[in-house]
Amino acid sequence: MNNNFDERQCQEVNSIAKKAFYVMFVISVLSIIVQLVFLNAELMYVMGETLTLLCGGIVYLICSIKKGIFSFKGKSLTLFDNVLGSVVCSGFFSVLYGMIISRKASEDISINRYIGGFFVGISIVCFLVLFIMGKYAEHSQNINEQKYDD
């Protein structure tokens, strides 16, 4: 990237990069879902998109949390928000998971147990991740407040 940008150009480039990142992220998610759910693709075939998505998402989250930025609509997430977010997110992915395995499982096997297990497991993981990220962001915020305290 050209480092000779002035401050306005830097701001605009950052804004463009942010939009481009969101577009890439959403397209990757949609691409994975369409391939897995509607085209019956194996997980191996969407490994590239999944890996890219994970790396981008993790870098975004880690950098945000290090700066103490982890909020929704300007407010820190409460315990209830974490639970709600985890359940909603897990519910969505459990439905997709159910659609994927229902096509692959033979008719005499009940998949409800697997979907239930997946839902509970993902909910717990999601809640723990949100909780830990929230705590770490709070910790980073406190460090920054102390660093710039008068």
Smallest gap from Cβ 142 to other proteins, in A, equals 27
Q: Which of 102, 72, 107 is nearest to 88 (CA)?
A: 72
Smallest gap from Cβ 6 to other proteins, in A, equals 4
For other proteins, give the closer residue by CB, 9 or 14: 9
Backbone phi, psi, residue 131, to 5°: -65, -45
3-state secondary structure 72-139: ECCECCCHHHHHHHHHHHHHHHHHHHHHHHHHHCCCCCCCHHHHHHHHHHHHHHHHHHHHHHHHHHHH
For other proteins, give the closer residue by CB, 6 or 108: 6
Helices (H) and strands (E) in the chain, counts: 4, 0
Smallest gap from Cβ 44 to other proteins, in A, equals 48
Smallest gap from Cβ 7 to other proteins, in A, equals 6
User: Footprint of other proteins on this chain (CB under 8 A)?
Assistant: 6-9
For other proteins, give the closer residue by CB, 4 or 112: 4
> What size, in residues, is the chain?
150
For other proteins, give the closer residue by CB, 8 or 147: 8
